[in-house]
A and B are shown apart, each in its own frame.
Chain A
Amino acid sequence: MNANRITALLAGLGISALAAAAVFAAATVPAGAYKAPMNAYGQPDLEGTWTNATLSVLERPKEYGTRKVMTPEEVKKIEGGAAELFAADAAPRDPKVKTTDLPHECGLGFSGAGCGYNAAWIDPGSTVMRVNGEPRTSFITDPPDGRLPPYKPGVTVPNMFMRAHYGENPENQTLAERCLTSFGYSAGPVMLPLLYNNNYEIAQSKDTVAIVVEMVHDVRIIHIGGKHRTDGERPWMGDSIGWYEGPTLVVETTNFPQETALRGAWKELTVTERFTRVGPHRILYQFKVQDPTVWDIPWSGEYEFSAAKGRIFEYACHEGNYALEGILAGARADEAAAANKTAKAAPAAATTVIKKQ
């Protein structure tokens, strides 16, 4: 399978190659028989390495309407199709193929060598997200259509890949290209899965919960029993405080910076997350998003983290970021080539003028 087939697959599933998805729901935790373990501090034990990799998406494809759960046939089609395509991509390919043979356009803004993300490089998961065993059509559960509510008039959501002055300065590039944060919203909140590296570690002390994010080795520090800062400063990933409600860790985050706006919201954005162990290897993750300057109503959703096999390895992005230098140098090379082309044409015009004199 070539790269455009992969991206076509992901687009078909509703997975953004840039950002992708996450969860929600203000719904209550199902009354199951599972009793969450407690840690040495008497808190619900959430520690471990977890993943939210999934074929599911934040916003529900419109064909599902207000239906929250997929049919077995729909699940089979998506999971089977993904397995088939990924297996095909893993098959040997013609070693004579060159980068110039890559498709010119492969969707989602990628073209040529940019189509290089084949199955070997991505890990978006292989299953539809189950919540309490139900295969879900989206993470968002409210509004009932599983989609973001309409934006208020005048609100604009910048396209992270359609930035003005692209290639002119390092500051014009995306945060991910600069190794400042991941593509999309991996660290959150809301924590949304990506094309790869959807792994997290949770550590708990008496007054702190730390969430290590594989992408760009971000660590979100949640102050248990703390208060939001009131100095007007807006740290990366916002300002998270938390508390425990029975078996659930509740986290409230405000003071987001504009650079990491969530679907256009940052200034008055409040994200409330709920983490609840619902099985030995599952954490129910529910979220509620509200920003009255962006949407008239809150939106919310849910998904489940599953226990990840193994541990998180170091994602030393900046230390190996030759791509940013390449992007800028490439832009300068293009400009130089264009200038040379102009210069070759210019002498003829100049000569003409001289002759006229």
Chain B
Amino acid sequence: MQLLALMTLTGSVAVMGRSYAEPNTAAHKAASGTIDRVGGHPNFSGVWSVMNSANWNIEPHLASAGLEMRPGPVVPVPAKAIVALGAVGSVPAGMGVVEGGTIPYKPDALAKRQDNQKHYLQRDPEIKCDLPGVPRANYMSLPFQIVQSAKTFLISYEYAGAVRDILFEDPGPAPIDSWMGQSVGKWDGDTLVVTVTGMTDGTWFDRAGNFHSGDMKVVERWTPMNENTIRYEAEITDPATFTRPWKMSMLIYRRLGEDARLQQFKCVEFVEELMYGDLRKEPLK
């Protein structure tokens, strides 16, 4: 009881034997006066990236030998296809970014998540270089660049050349589903609130099989903590998959100096052997 009381006081909860840091609401207030502005709003222009392992698994997790495992004589071992990668193919630990630590899946959806993990190599859309969708695009290891003016907010992602244009006039429901969805933004004080709809069910949240349906709605909140740090939150609503709406929260950091230059990661050509190798005139042995 004393431990629980202490956790409450410190804003932390125990998850899988480790502590998960709940975002401090008070800390979400932007440090007004210290941040650049354009059009009266915080200016997010620049190159940004996370420093977490959420793309590996948005839930809290210890390091493990691989994303897809198979039974071994003593303990599970990496799937045959990733054995050659050795430590490079292993999964780094992470505190998780899901508020409360656990995604509230419906029972059948949870079973599908587990099945996704068993067949990770065949199912993760990132493996085929598919567009990542939202929110995943924001916490991949590769950076993204925001180009913002008084009337425009464009996000250009290094991964696969994905791009989002935040609309500040709501055009109504997206006329057609897309991989990156339709983003409609509005300002709530210094926080940019973006509602993302119209996404396909082809994207995942991470490399751990966490998924959603095509009816998912994501409400993002981008709040400047200081000149070089953004508190990013995303509320996920998807009644077909989850028992209730849930949130993820993390920090995004500005890349500075020589690191502040977006590169290109056109991974399409990198997956051609995987996707089309068997159709070569002379398939490689």
A271 within 8 A of B: no
> Once the chains bind, are A313 and B149 in contact (CB under 8 Å)?
no
- A41–B149 CB distance below 8 A: yes
Q: B273 — nearest CB in chain A belongs to which residue?
A: A170
| Contact indicator A218/B180 (Cβ below 8 Å) | no
A235 to B43 CA separation, bound complex (whole angstroms): 28
Known contacts A180-B269, A203-B154, A329-B279; A314 and B178 CB within 8 A of each other: yes
Interface string of B230-269 (1 = CB under 8 A from A): 0000000000000000000000000000000111101011
Of A207, A209, A212, A218, the contact of B165 (CB 8 Å cutoff): A212
**Residues of B bordering A, CB below 8 Å:** 38-39, 43, 45, 129-131, 145-152, 154, 156, 160-163, 165, 167, 171, 176, 178-180, 202, 261-264, 266, 268-269, 272, 275-276, 279-281
Instruction: Assess whether A219 is in contact with B156, with CB atoms less than 8 Å apart.
Output: yes
Contact with B along A277-290 (1 / 0, CB 8 A): 00000000000000
What are 12 A-B interface contacts by the 8 Å CB criterion? A39-B149, A41-B38, A169-B280, A169-B281, A178-B269, A205-B146, A208-B145, A217-B162, A218-B161, A311-B167, A318-B268, A335-B281
Cβ A178 vs Cβ B268 within 8 A: yes
B147→A203 contact, CB < 8 A: yes
Q: How far is the CA of A102 from the CA of B283 in the complex (A)?
A: 34
Contact status B268-A179, CB under 8 Å:
yes
- B281 and A47 within 8 A (CB): no
Contact of B156 among A169, A221, A325 (CB under 8 A): A221
In Å, the complex CA distance between A221 and B155 comes to: 12
Contacts A179-B268, A319-B179 known; A221 to B154 CB distance under 8 Å? no
Tell whether, in the assembled complex, residue A318 and residue B163 are in contact, meaning their CB atoms are under 8 Å apart.
no
User: Closest CB-CB distance, B243 to chain A, in whole Å?
Assistant: 30
What distance in Å separates the Cβ of B259 from its nearest Cβ neighbour in chain A? 14
Nearest B-chain residue to A43, judged by Cβ: B149
Assembly CA distance A219 to B38 (angstroms): 22
With both chains docked as a complex, state the minimum distance between the C-beta of A74 and any C-beta of chain B, in angstroms.
39
Residue of B with least CB distance to A206: B45
Chain A residues, Cβ within 8 Å of B263: 235
How far is A205 from B38 in the complex, measured between Cα atoms in Å?
Answer: 9
Option from A47, A180, A314, A329 in Cβ contact (under 8 Å) with B268 = A180
Closest to A316 in B: B179
Q: Which of A40, A212, A219 contacts B150 (CB 8 A)?
A: A40
Complex Cα–Cα for A337 and B163 (A): 43
Residues on the A chain within 8 Å of B156, using CB: 210, 212, 219, 221
Extra 10 A-B pairs, beta carbons < 8 Å, given A47-B149, A206-B45, A313-B176? A40-B149, A169-B280, A170-B272, A171-B272, A204-B152, A210-B156, A212-B165, A219-B163, A236-B264, A332-B281
Q: Is the CB of B161 within 8 A of A47?
A: no
Convert A25-45 into 0s and 1s, putting 1 for each residue whose CB lies closer than 8 angstroms to a CB of B: 000000000000001110000
Shortest beta-carbon distance from B152 to chain A in Å: 5
**Shortest distance between the CB of A355 and any CB in chain B (Å):** 35
CB distance from A95 to the nearest CB of B (A): 26
CB-CB < 8 A to B160: which residues of A?
A: 318
| Given A319-B179, A332-B279, A216 and B161 contact (CB-CB distance below 8 Å) | yes
Q: Which residues of A contact B279 (CB under 8 A)?
A: 170, 325, 328-329, 332
